């Protein structure tokens, strides 16, 4: 597999440690953002017979939905993570979505067939590129003229209590380094001005931004939410303050418990554009 040198760290993260955990907890991670799925798919407007490319598809919930909507067409899920793609393939088979297929590739450099896709979608999988202009230029080539794009991305950390409250709880008073807004991270597409520059430089039309707010699910109960939170954020814990960190975490999760499980408010952008 060709991987851009700047994406080697992401390959390491998603293809091993964190990716293995995501694969093991596929059901929960797929449900985390389920409340956003309808809006993303509506914006993509997938029609029978279309070819869909799902960028950073993970365990493939959006690829399966796209495949179902594409009918006689197909959906290709692309991701860096072999363990997540293995689960994606199993889940597509288990749910009978035969036109959803999966490919391990770095979407920044993979040689996609030119002009082969009608629609590009991504559910929080497009913000980890070292060189997003190069990546979207490559994806631009893969879309046919008139091809549509619908991307779901996180708004800024400050508007996402699931991030601020959980990281603050685990850091136990230590100041947290905020990643630079242009570094690859879940929040790298939070600034519409920056994203517009990336997408228009790659050749796409001026994008539209729809702000969305939905509860983000962290599982049906407190032990599940704790497992999920520690699975992705335990690197924040300093061994000397671990008992306090765990106690803080439980307090935060408890304060977000409701009849529908453990949920946090969250905010995203639904970005749409097209290839002229
Ligand atoms: C936050 S996860 C989202 C997964 C999935 N879309 C979902 O909503 O559950 C981000 C995904 O982007 C993938 N990814 C990151 N950089 C990538 C790249 N350069 N090429 C392809 N996939 C990438 C990761 O492997 C990971 O599965």
Domains (ranges, CATH) in the chain?
5-156+180-218+267-274 (3.40.50.150)
pTM (2 d.p.): 0.97
Q: Give the C-alpha separation, 171 to 242, whole Å.
A: 9
**What is the pairing mode between strands 261-274 and 208-217?**
antiparallel
Torsion-angle region of 146 (φ positive above 0: left; ψ -120 to 50: alpha; else: beta): left
Q: Distance between CA atoms of 133 and 136, rounded to whole angstroms?
A: 5
Residue nearest to atom 20 of ligand 1 (CA): 106
174: which DSSP letter?
A: P
Other C-beta atoms lying within 10 Å of the C-beta of residue 221: 12
Task: Quote the CA–CA distance of 207 and 196 in Å, as a whole number.
Answer: 6
Residue 116, both tokens: 């082969």
Please give the pLDDT value at position 175.
Answer: 82
Is residue 153 classed exposed, middle or buried when 0-12, 13-18 and 19+ CB atoms within 10 A define those classes? buried
Cα of 234 vs centre of ligand 1, distance in Å, is 20
DSSP assignment of 214-227 equals EEEE--SSHHHHHH
Residue with tokens 């080539």: 141
CB-neighbour burial class of residue 131 (10 A; exposed 0-12, middle 13-18, buried 19+): middle
**CA Rg value for the chain:** 18
Rounded Cα–Cα distance for residues 8 and 249 (Å): 31
pLDDT per residue, tens digit, the chain (276 aa), is 999 999 999 999 999 989 999 999 999 999 999 999 999 999 999 999 999 999 999 999 999 999 999 999 999 999 999 999 999 999 999 999 999 999 999 999 999 999 999 999 999 999 999 999 999 999 999 999 999 999 999 999 999 999 999 999 999 988 887 778 889 999 999 999 999 999 999 999 999 999 999 999 999 999 999 999 999 998 899 999 999 999 999 999 999 999 989 999 999 999 999 999
Ligand 1 centroid, distance to 125 Cα (angstroms): 4
Collapsing DSSP states into helix, strand and coil, what is residue 213?
Answer: strand
- Report how far apart the first and last C-alpha atoms of the chain are (Å, whole number): 30
- What pLDDT shows up at residue 174? 87
The SS3 call for residue 167 is helix
Nearest CA to ligand 1 atom 2: 125
Ligand 1 site residues, Cβ closer than 6 angstroms: 7, 10, 14, 29-30, 33, 56-58, 62, 78-81, 84, 106-108, 123-125, 128-129
The predicted pLDDT at position 114 comes to 98
Q: What is the pLDDT of residue 100?
A: 98
For a ligand 1 pocket test, name from 55, 125, 218, 270 the mutation site with the most ligand atoms within 8 angstroms of its C-beta: 125
Q: How far is the CA of 214 from the centre of ligand 1 (A)?
A: 21
> Of 189, 66, 175, whose CA–CA distance to 118 is shortest?
66
């Amino acid at each position: 597999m060709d991987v851009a040198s700047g994406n080697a760290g992401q390959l390491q993260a998603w293809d091993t440690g964190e990716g293995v955990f995501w694969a093991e907890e596929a059901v929960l991670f797929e449900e985390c953002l389920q409340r956003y799925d309808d809006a993303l798919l509506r914006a993509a407007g997938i029609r029978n017979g279309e070819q869909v490319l799902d960028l950073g598809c993970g365990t493939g919930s959006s690829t399966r939905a796209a495949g179902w909507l594409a009918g006689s067409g197909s959906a290709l899920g692309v991701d860096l993570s072999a363990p997540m793609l293995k689960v994606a393939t199993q889940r597509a088979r288990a749910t009978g979505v035969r036109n959803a297929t999966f490919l391990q590739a770095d979407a920044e450099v993979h040689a996609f067939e030119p002009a082969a896709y009608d629609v590009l979608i991504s559910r929080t999988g497009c913000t980890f590129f070292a060189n997003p202009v190069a990546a979207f230029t490559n994806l631009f080539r893969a879309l046919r003229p008139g091809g549509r794009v619908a991307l779901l991305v996180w708004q800024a950390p400050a508007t996402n209590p699931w991030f601020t409250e959980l990281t603050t709880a685990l850091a136990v008073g230590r100041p947290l380094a905020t990643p630079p807004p242009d570094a690859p991270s879940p929040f790298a597409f939070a600034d519409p001005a920056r994203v517009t520059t990336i997408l228009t430089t790659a050749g796409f039309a001026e994008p539209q931004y729809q702000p969305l707010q939905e509860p983000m699910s962290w599982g049906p109960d407190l032990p599940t939410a704790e497992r999920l939170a520690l699975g992705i954020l335990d690197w924040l814990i300093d061994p000397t303050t671990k008992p306090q960190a765990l106690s803080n975490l439980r307090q935060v999760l408890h304060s977000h418990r409701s009849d529908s499980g453990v949920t946090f408010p969250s905010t995203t952008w639904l970005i749409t554009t097209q290839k002229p």
